[in-house]
Amino acid sequence: MSLYVGASLARALSSARGATRVDRSATRRGRSVARRAVAPRRVVARVADATRGVARVVARVMRASCAPCVERARVCGVEPSRSLRAVGRATPHVGASRAMARVARAATTASSSLYRNALLVVKTTPMTEYTSLIGSGELYDTPRYERVKTRHETHKSGVKAVKRMLEQRGVAFECVERHALTEESVRGHDLIVALGGDGTTLISAHHVRDAKVPILGINTDPATKDELTKMYLTNACVDERRSTGHLCAANRFDAETVLDGALRGTLKPTRLARIRTVLNGKVLEPALNDVLIAHPSPAAVSRYSVRLPPTARGGDGYDESAKRFFHVRSSGVRTCTASGSTAAMYSAGGEIMPHDSMSMQYMDREPIYYDHAPPPSVGHGYYERGDALSFRWNSRVGTIYIDGAHVKHDVVLGDDVEMSTDAPELSLFVSKWFVEARRVRTGLDRVFKTRENWGRRK
C-alpha cells in the first residue's frame, strides 16, 4: 500500500513541478499577460487533480486492505464511513489529510493495549463425548444431542469472536483447553482470558500465582434472566439452564465492550482473597471460592479434631503451650472467601461477605452435638487473615474439594490439614453485579461464640 500511495504522490509532485516550469519559462520569454495569468490556475488545477487522485487511491486501498484499521476506528468511536467519505469528497489538500489523520489516530489508539500476550483458556464442551456415542451407536436421545450441539456452536462462536477482537487490537495470544492447563502454560503471559463459565474461571485461577497477571472470564454460553426465572419449573424432565457466570466479567453479548475496556485500562481488575490449603506440609491449589473437606460418601460421618489456641490459666497447673482440640463429628467442614460467600456457604445459612474482605468463613456441615449440653460452639465463624484453621483428620478416608468437584485430593486417618487466607491474592475482572451482590451484609453479625475462642479466659 505504501509503495502505491508513494508512487501516486510522486506523480502529483512531478506534475506540479512541470506546471511550475512551464509558468517560469513563459515568464522569461515575456509572453502575454493573459498567458501568465492562466498558468497559475493550471498549476492549482493540476495539483488539485493529483491530490484527488491520491485521496481516491488512499480510500480505495483503505477499503480493500485496511479492514482491521477500519474496525479499530469503529471500536474507538470514529465512524469509518464518515472518514472514508471525507477522503473522497473533502477539499483535496485539507479535508483528505484531516480525514486520514483522524483514521490514523483512531487506529493507533485501538492498537495500544496494556497487555501484549494473552492466554485463552477454553472450555471443552460435551460435544466430543456425544460424538463418540454416535460413532458407537449408543446415542439414543436425539433431541438432547441437538441441544448439546447448539450450545457447542454458541460456545465456539464466542471463542472465535474473542480471537478476532484480540487480533484486531494487535494482542498476541495462545489457546489451551482447560483440562490441559498447567502453571507452565500460564508462564510468560500477562493476561488470562477464561472462555466458558465459572468453572473455567476457577480452574484458570488455580494455576495463577502472580497477582500481577489478571484473569478475565467471559461466559460464552450465558443464561438470560428470562431463562433463569422460567426454567425452575417446566414440563421438561431435564434442567437445561445455562451458566450464570457469576465470576465472569462479561458474556458473549458484551464481551467486546468489556474486553476493550480491559485492554485499554479503563476497566481495572479487583484484588480478591484466596484460601491456602496445606496437606501434611504440601501446599495445594489456591481456592478462589471455597474448600470442602468431607467423607467421600455423603451418608458417612466426617470426624476431625480442630486445634484450639492454648489457654492462659496462670499458676493453676496449665501450660500455655499445651495443645487443645475440639473434636467434631459432622458431614464435613467448609471454608470460603468473600467471593464464595454467595455460593454454597450462603445456601447453607452462612453470611455474605464484602467482596474486599480478607477473612475466611467456616462452617461445620450438619454437626452432631447431642453429647454437648449446651453446645460450646455453633460450628460457624471466621478466621482473620494471619490465623489458620488447623485440624487432624480422624476418619478412615476423606476428600478435599477445591472450588467444586474438578480439583480434589484424598486424605486419610491422621493427616494434618491447615487452611487460611494467606494465599496470594488474585486479580480478577469482575462485573458490577459481583460487587453489588456483596455490598450489603446479611444474616449473622459475629456476636456468636466461635469455637476458637471457646475456653479462653478473657
In this model, does residue 261 exceed pLDDT 90? yes
What pLDDT is stored for residue 19 in this prediction?
Answer: 46
Between 148 and 204, the higher pLDDT residue = 204
Signed CA dihedral, 153, 158, 159, 163: sign only: positive
User: Which backbone phi and psi does 37 adopt, to 5 degrees?
Assistant: -75, -30
DSSP line for 20-54: HHHHHHHHHTT--HHHHHHHHHHHHHHHHHHHHHH
Give me 118's grid cell. 494473552
Share of the chain above pLDDT 70, in %: 61
- Specify the pLDDT at position 53: 58
More confident residue, 450 or 346: 346
Long-range contacts of 19-28 (CB under 8 A, 24+ apart): 19/43, 19/46, 19/47
Q: 48 versus 175: which is more confidently predicted? A: 175
Q: How many whole angstroms separate alpha carbon 421 and alpha carbon 288? A: 10
Cα(308)–Cα(330) distance, integer angstroms: 18
Tell whether domain 117-268 is in CATH 3.40.50. Answer: yes
Angular region, 433: left φ>0, alpha ψ -120 to 50, beta rest: alpha
More confident residue, 261 or 62: 261
Mean pLDDT of the chain: 76
3-state secondary structure of 132: helix
Does residue 284 have a pLDDT over 60?
Answer: yes
In CATH, what number does 276-453 get?
2.60.200.30
Which amino acid, 97? S
Q: Mind giving me the DSSP string for 394-457?
A: -SSEEEEEETTTTEEEEEETT-EEEEES-SPPEEEE--HHHHHTTTS--S--S-S--GGGTT--
Cell of 257: 465492550
422, 344 contact by CB (below 8 A): no
Residue bearing the bigger pLDDT, 37 or 425: 425
Q: Where are the domains of the chain?
A: 2-111, 117-268, 276-453
User: Band of the pLDDT at 369, cuts 50, 70, 90?
Assistant: confident
pLDDT (0 to 100) of residue 223: 76
Place of cell 463459565: 197
399 or 71: whose pLDDT is higher? Answer: 399
Give whichever of 133-142, 185-194, 309-318 has the largest mean pLDDT: 185-194
Closest CA to 154 of 190, 195, 112: 195
pLDDT above 60: residue 179: yes
Beta strands in 94-230 (DSSP E): 117-122, 172-177, 191-196, 215-219
- Residue 79 pLDDT: 44
* Distance between CA atoms of residues 138 and 451, nearest Å: 53
Confidence of residue 88 (pLDDT cuts 50, 70, 90): very low
Between residues 369 and 272, which one has the greater pLDDT?
A: 272
Which H or E run includes 184? helix 183-186
Look at residue 92 and give its three-state secondary structure: coil
5 has pLDDT over 60: no
Q: What is the mean pLDDT of residues 177-203?
A: 94
For residues 168 and 22, the model is more confident at: 168
Name which of 105-109, 378-382, 402-406 the model is least confident about: 105-109
β strands within 281-330, DSSP E: 282-283, 290-294, 302-308, 324-330
Under 8 Å between Cβ of 164 and 156: no
| Residue with the larger pLDDT of the pair 446 and 259 | 259
Cell of 55: 485521496
pLDDT at 239: 66
| Residue 109 pLDDT grade (very low, low, confident, very high; cuts 50, 70, 90) | very low
| Residue 131 pLDDT class (50, 70, 90 cuts) | confident
CA separation, residue 383 to residues 68, 201, 285, 400 (Å): 52, 25, 19, 19
Say whether pLDDT at 30 is over 70: no
Which of 91-95, 327-331, 438-442 tops mean pLDDT?
327-331
- What is the predicted pLDDT for the residue at 451? 47
pLDDT for position 36? 42
Q: What would the grid cell of residue 279 be?
A: 496437606
Residue 2: per-residue pLDDT: 45
Structure confidence at residue 106 as a pLDDT band (50, 70, 90):
very low
Query: Parallel, antiparallel, or unpaired: how do β-strands 172-177 and 117-122 relate?
Result: parallel
Alpha helix ranges (H) inside 80-141: 80-89, 95-111, 127-136
Q: Is the pLDDT of residue 91 over 50?
A: no
Radius of gyration of the chain (CA): 33
Residue 441 neighbours by CB distance under 10 Å:
14
- In tens, the pLDDT along 294-315 reads 999 999 999 999 998 765 444 4
Is residue 129 pLDDT above 70, yes or no? yes
Query: For residues 174 and 192, what is the distance between their CA atoms, to the nearest angstrom?
Result: 10
Read off the C-alpha cell for 193.
482470558
Q: Pairing state of beta strands 191-196 and 117-122?
A: parallel
Residue 133 has pLDDT above 90, yes or no: no
Backbone phi and psi for residue 63, each to the nearest 5 degrees, phi listed first: -65, -40
**Which of 253-262, 291-300, 390-399, 428-437 shows the lowest mean pLDDT across its residues?**
428-437
Residue pair 362/353 in contact (Cβ under 8 Å)? The answer is no
Residues 6+ apart with CB under 8 A from 131: none
Q: Is the pTM of this model over 0.75?
A: no
Number of Cβ atoms within 10 Å of the Cβ of 55: 23
